[in-house]
Structure formats: structure tokens, C-alpha cells
């Protein structure tokens, strides 16, 4: 069974933070604190751990599914004015 993995760039974009901020958070975890490697492959569990360190408004987009786009209101076109034509009188 293959697990979904994301790069730091993908996760940073998803969590609305910079890659630098994400790497700093990751290095605070024992698993990623090797001081050498920065091209991580992150799973869903890793992303959830990182989200705990962020402000709720930063991760709201990740934790909640995006709402369906609102339907556009139907608007009636403006009335078309008919030009007045002069008629010839006899």
C-alpha cells in the first residue's frame, strides 16, 4: 500500500507558511533533527504534527475542507432603449 508523501514545498503551500518556517518546525522534531538533510518527504501524520505548532487561522484552510464555490447570482441585463425614429409627415 503506497502512502501519500509531500515535499516541504507542497506542505508549506498547503499550510500557508514559507518553506523556511516549515523546516524550522521540522528540525524541532527528533525525527528530522539531523542537521544535514532538508529535502523531506512528509506524510499526513507529519503535516498534522506541524499544524499543531501553527496558529489556528494559519491551518484552518488545511484542517477544514474548502467550501463549494458559491453560485453566481443571475442578473437581468439592463433594459435596451429603442431608438426613436422620426416618420415623414405629408
C-alpha cell at 1: 500500500
CA distance 90 to 85: 16
Cα 37 from chain centroid (whole Å): 27
CA 83 centroid distance within chain = 50
For the entire predicted model, the pTM comes to: 0.56
Model confidence at 64, pLDDT cuts 50, 70, 90, reads low
Q: Which residue has the higher pLDDT, 2 or 47?
A: 47
pLDDT of 1: 41
Which of 90, 20, 16, 30 shows the shortest CA–CA distance to 59? 16
The DSSP symbol for 72 reads: P
Amino acid at each position: 500500500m503506497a502512502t501519500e508523501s509531500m515535499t516541504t514545498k507542497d506542505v508549506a503551500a498547503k499550510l500557508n507558511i514559507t518553506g523556511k518556517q516549515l523546516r524550522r518546525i521540522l528540525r524541532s522534531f527528533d525525527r528530522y533533527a539531523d542537521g544535514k538533510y532538508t529535502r523531506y518527504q512528509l506524510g499526513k501524520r507529519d503535516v498534522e504534527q506541524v499544524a499543531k505548532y501553527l496558529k489556528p487561522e494559519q491551518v484552518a484552510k488545511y484542517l477544514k475542507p474548502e467550501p463549494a464555490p458559491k453560485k453566481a447570482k443571475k442578473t437581468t441585463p439592463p433594459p435596451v432603449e429603442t431608438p426613436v425614429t422620426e416618420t415623414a409627415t405629408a
